[in-house]
Amino acid sequence: MKQKPNKYFDKALLTEFGLCVALKGTEGDIVLRLNDPDYEVNSTEPMLVETDGCLVPFFIEEDSVNYNKNGEVSLKFDTVNSNSEAFELTGKKVYVLTEDLIKEDFDDDGYDSDFKYLNYNCYDQNDTLLGKIVDVDDIPGNPLLIIHDSFGKEILVPVNAAEILDENDIIQTVKITIPEGLLETCC
């Protein structure tokens, strides 16, 4: 009986994710140059490093993934414990199973076009209409909701500070908390 190849070793089912280009630190962390800057690391699934024509699976240590602005990401494989072991991986291509590939979906302006509340009317905790959510400025660590009020004025609300209180997908409204003093300083 002919054995079916494992899906992790069938290149037709894989996407080239990036290239191991450098080491970071002293504990065997790897720097990957991503083939597409919108790729995200799926730390629950293995990455396959092409070594001597073979695909070798590596799992990523939890909380070791760090994104850089230049389309690179640093991470630590759970079985690589030293820089000498990590050095053996430099210059090697990295693949992921295509079905496990995570890719941010950005529109032409670079914003996440999958943001659920885009084009929703936004109300504050006092039921006051702030305006329509027109975009999200995806600043790393501090994304901002961009809301245009009825006069065309822009209101920027930190996503981390805006708690969703209520939503209605049928009439496309969302009610959020606004940090005290924010509207007085921006409007």
CATH number (domain holding residue 86): 2.40.30.60
| 9-13, 143-147, 181-185: the lowest-pLDDT one | 181-185
1, part of any domain = no
* 113 half-sphere exposure, CB direction, 13 A CA radius: 8
Query: Looking at 50, 70, 103, which one is the last position of a domain?
Result: 103
Structure-token match 């302006």, residue found: 109
Per DSSP, the three-state class of 166 is strand
Q: Are residues 157 and 81 in the same domain?
A: no
Q: Are residues 125 and 94 in the same domain?
A: no
pTM of the model: 0.53
pLDDT higher than 60, residue 5: no
pLDDT in tens, 95-140: 988 887 776 654 444 444 456 788 889 998 889 899 998 888 777 7
Our CA dihedral for 161, 165, 168, 173, rounded to 10 degrees, sits at: -50
Q: Are residues 126 and 98 in the same domain?
A: no
CB 146 within 8 A of CB 162: no
Domain that holds residue 79: 9-103
Q: Are residues 141 and 177 in the same domain?
A: yes
112, part of any domain = no
Task: Name the DSSP class of 145.
Answer: E
Question: Chain-wide mean pLDDT for the chain?
Answer: 81
Q: How many domains does the chain have?
A: 2
Per DSSP, the three-state class of 161 is helix
Beta bridge mates, 30: 23, 75
Give dist(CA 61, CA 144) in Å, integer: 30
Give dist(CA 173, CA 118) in Å, integer: 10
Q: Are residues 76 and 132 in the same domain?
A: no
pLDDT in tens, 130-166: 999 888 877 777 788 888 888 878 888 888 777 888 8
Number of neighbouring beta carbons within 10 Å of residue 26 = 9
Find the farthest-apart pair of alpha carbons in the chain and give their distance in angstroms, rounded: 74
Q: Which two tokens stand for residue 107?
A: 């529109």
Tell me the pLDDT band of 184, cut-offs 50, 70 and 90.
low
Query: Looking at 74, 103, 132, which one is the last position of a domain?
Result: 103
Q: How many residues does the chain have?
A: 187
Number of neighbouring beta carbons within 10 Å of residue 170 = 6
Q: Are residues 156 and 93 in the same domain?
A: no
